[in-house]
Structure 1
């Protein structure tokens, strides 16, 4: 076994149980989301706003996880969420033009700062929304899906990956790996439901929802991974950070979730409205 693979497994063995413990109540889930967003936001801002004033970087490093917590408080009030987002975004705009910086620096602060508020704060808040609208079991399934898909895609791709998905952006992402991740996601949902059934007495996912959710997650998790790879490739970076041995930075760890979780939620709502989510 490769040294990097061993390190990834050890890191996962420590991090995953700690993350699962955070799903025992609503506010611990909010805290988990904010911590993940905050650490990923630090990676994101240090990369995208490199060369900007420290003041601007610190503003977004604080605002990104802070806004995520606010979304937790306002999860049942969409109008207030829009108001909070608009206020922080507008404050960021004002701070960007308040200093006599070159126009390209001002533009970078506005574009990447605003994107960070949406891409990180807003998108990962759907973990919280899934918890609030459905329950912890469904919210935890999103986290489990990310771990299973990413791990399966990595190992299958490393072993059998011959056809690169988008080589010019992410040389390590293969079509075989994506297919492997999709297959293992289906297996994950089946095992997940089987483990939960004795405790709840009912199954959370129907056969149709298992297939649909696995397909949706596989596609959009890959989109999230490729999206982050664009940022790194343009800056000649392998990882966004080094806080997680074998995994890179926190942004590297949750890049797929940032796109897949919102679509996961949308799929949940559609399946539930058509009464085909549960078995």
Structure 2
């Protein structure tokens, strides 16, 4: 997880022309969070009296992250008339909110591995079904200024595939709450936003891929952009389904 975060951070910094010292400071802040949480829970609060406070902090971070992605949706819709700010502060905040959800994957894993599997099913299922649906039926471009290959038909096919795969997951895991289908649908939409948001930076940098760490598949950011955008809204949905 640490290596993946550093790699994605470096690729984002390269695309956005973010100073490396700012990248280092931002990554240090991000990865200090889980260690400080562990220190508090083990040494400061062994009886876990602060567990509710920590949980609320995680929820608050996910809410902020969802707002961040809604702002990014605005940029995606209005590109190239609207672009991300080129300020150092915006780059640091964007990277922070981009990578923070990776930490919540650790929380999901410890809470229920089946939910983590569902998240992966949604994100990569949406991408896979969208690809084949687009190849078979794609006619209308989704975001021609950002991605010439993505079509409306492909996205619709991807979301239908997500619903089908989520239904299978519900039967296998015996989580027969229909609200999981709504959560899967919304999460799938956010994964598309993440993909298109990364495309903004690639367009601005004149790059086809975020990197070449994965031969034939581009960079790690290319593989995880949808997951990074989908995780916050998925986390909030799981919080709602399991506690309210």
Q: TM-score range by the shorter chain?
A: 0.7 to 0.9
TM-score, normalisation: structure 2: 0.73
Q: Which residue of 2 aligns with 1:123?
A: 101
Q: Which residue of 1 aligns with 2:7?
A: 39
Aligned-residue offset at 1:65: 6.0
User: Out of 140, 161, 167, which is 1:163 matched to?
Assistant: 140
- Deviating runs (4+, > 6 A) in structure 1? 79-82
Aligned-residue offset at 1:137: 1.1
Matches within 5 A, 1:86-105: none
Which protein is bigger by CA-based radius of gyration?
A: 1
Mapped pair 1:204 → 2:154: no
Evaluate the alpha carbon distance shift between residue 129 and residue 165 of structure 1 in structure 2; reply closer, same or farther with a 3 A threshold. Answer: same
Q: Which residue of 2 aligns with 1:243?
A: 213
Mapped pair 1:113 → 2:83: no
The answer for unaligned runs of 5 or more in structure 2 is 42-50, 62-85
Distance 1:64 1:237 in 2: 28
Q: Which has the higher contact order (CA 8 A, sep 6+)?
A: 2
How many residue pairs are counted as aligned between the two chains? Answer: 207
User: Out of 126, 129, 152, which is 1:149 matched to?
Assistant: 126
What's the secondary structure of 2:142's corresponding residue? strand
Aligned-residue offset at 1:176: 1.0
How large is the RMSD of aligned CA atoms in angstroms? 2.9
Distance 1:272 1:156 in 2: 33
What's the secondary structure of 1:172's corresponding residue? strand
Aligned-residue offset at 1:129: 3.1
Evaluate the alpha carbon distance shift between residue 155 and residue 237 of structure 1 in structure 2; reply closer, same or farther with a 3 A threshold. Answer: same
The answer for unaligned runs of 5 or more in structure 1 is 1-31, 86-106, 197-202, 275-279
Evaluate the alpha carbon distance shift between residue 164 and residue 250 of structure 1 in structure 2; reply closer, same or farther with a 3 A threshold. Answer: same
